[in-house]
Amino acid sequence: MNNIKIKMKNITKVFEIDNMETHALRGLDLTIYDGDYISISGPSGCGKSTLLSILGLLDMPSSGTYHIEGDDVSQLSLAQSARIRANKIGFIFQQFNLIDELTVFENIALPLRYSEKQYSESEIKQKVKKCLDSVEMSHRTNHYPHLLSGGQQQRIAIARSLVADPAILLVDEPTGNLDSKNGDAIMDMLENLNNQGTTICLVTHDPRYADRAKSQYHLLDGRIEMVKSMLEAV
Ligand SMILES: Nc1ncnc2c1ncn2[C@@H]1O[C@H](COP(=O)(O)OP(=O)(O)OP(=O)(O)O)[C@@H](O)[C@H]1O
Ligand SMILES: [Mg+2]
């Protein structure tokens, strides 16, 4: 039996603006196992980004419980959630969000420099190199991001998301700014990372990409439904 990385029970999220309530999530249960690669798809407005924000501790649920690696993270202060986010969660977004004034090396090193763990310079070098190798971008270590192609920039963003060994990688429409060739290459890379043990949660509109995940979920009107699971030993 695989270990549980993420467990959400009966999660709701209600947004209230000008006395109008929007029920974005309506009692959602989700368990993500170590080593799984799940995709979440569904129509616009069904709650995908809301769910990803809560998974990534960028927002809190209105009710329900949420555990990451056994720790209750349902209701945290901003400081607590920032700390857990830095230690446990890797993000990949449609926008690459690289810092143009920093080299590729420094962009990837950033999460380690902000980490509460005190990494030595040689540890930082070693970790950055390993991540650059895994996205086949070692030959661009000292370049600045704006000199790279979109596909290469997304690979650097992936390396940065991995450098602090997150418990889970949250990925939101990673190919949205890429042509299909580069998009496919990024999807191949996610698959490779998962084969090497990284647990991944992907939100995508694209059924071809959703299909490549081991476990597939549909989100509709704030409720989630599993449509396929190929994870062994679950
Ligand atoms: N900060 C907010 N304040 C108020 N309502 C919000 C907020 N964020 C999301 N919503 C509402 O919650 C519902 C779910 O939105 P969400 O962004 O999660 O959808 P989505 O599935 O990501 O859509 P898309 O595919 O278009 O990105 C929508 O009705 C949206 O208008
Ligand atoms: Mg969205």
For residue 219, which ligand has an atom nearest its CA? 1
What mean pLDDT is reported for the chain? Answer: 93
Percent of the chain, pLDDT > 90?
A: 81
44 lines ligand 1 (CB under 6 A): yes
The predicted structure's pLDDT at residue 234: 46
What's the pLDDT tens digit per position in 6-37?
999 999 999 999 999 999 999 999 999 999 99
Q: How far does the centroid of ligand 1 lie from the alpha carbon of residue 222, in Å?
A: 10
94 lines ligand 1 (CB under 6 A): no
For residue 48, which ligand has an atom nearest its CA? 1
What's the pLDDT tens digit per position in 214-225?
999 999 989 999
Atom of ligand 1 nearest to the CA of 43: 25
Q: What is the 3-state secondary structure (H, E, C) of 149-200?
A: CHHHHHHHHHHHHHCCCCCEEEEECCCCCCCHHHHHHHHHHHHHHHHCCCCE
pTM, two decimals, is: 0.90
The token pair that represents 15 in the structure block: 């947004």
The predicted structure's pLDDT at residue 1: 54
Percent of the chain, pLDDT > 70?
A: 98
The predicted structure's pLDDT at residue 177: 85
49 lines ligand 1 (CB under 6 A): yes
The ranges assigned to domains in the chain are 4-229
Q: How far does the centroid of ligand 1 lie from the alpha carbon of residue 218, in Å?
A: 16
The token pair that represents 127 in the structure block: 């970790």
Q: What mean pLDDT do residues 52-58 have?
A: 95
What's the pLDDT tens digit per position in 93-126?
988 999 999 999 999 999 999 888 899 999 999 9
For residue 47, which ligand has an atom nearest its CA? 1
H or E segment to which residue 129 belongs: helix 121-134
Q: What mean pLDDT do residues 139-149 have?
A: 95
Residue 18: how many other CB atoms lie within 10 Å: 4
Higher pLDDT, 232 or 138: 138
Q: Which CATH architecture has domain 4-229?
A: 3-Layer(aba) Sandwich (3.40)
DSSP annotation string for 44-111:
TTSSHHHHHHHHTTSS--SEEEEEETTEE-SS--HHHHHHHHHHHEEEE-SS----TTS-HHHHHHHH
The CA-atom distances, in angstroms, between 57 and each of 30, 43, 162, 221 are 15, 23, 17, 21
What CA–CA distance (Å, rounded) separates 149 from 132?
16
What's the pLDDT tens digit per position in 167-194?
899 999 898 888 888 899 999 999 999 9
Q: Is 146 helix (H, G, I), strand (E, B) or coil?
A: helix
Q: Whose CA is nearest to atom 3 of ligand 1?
A: 15
Atom of ligand 1 nearest to the CA of 203: 22
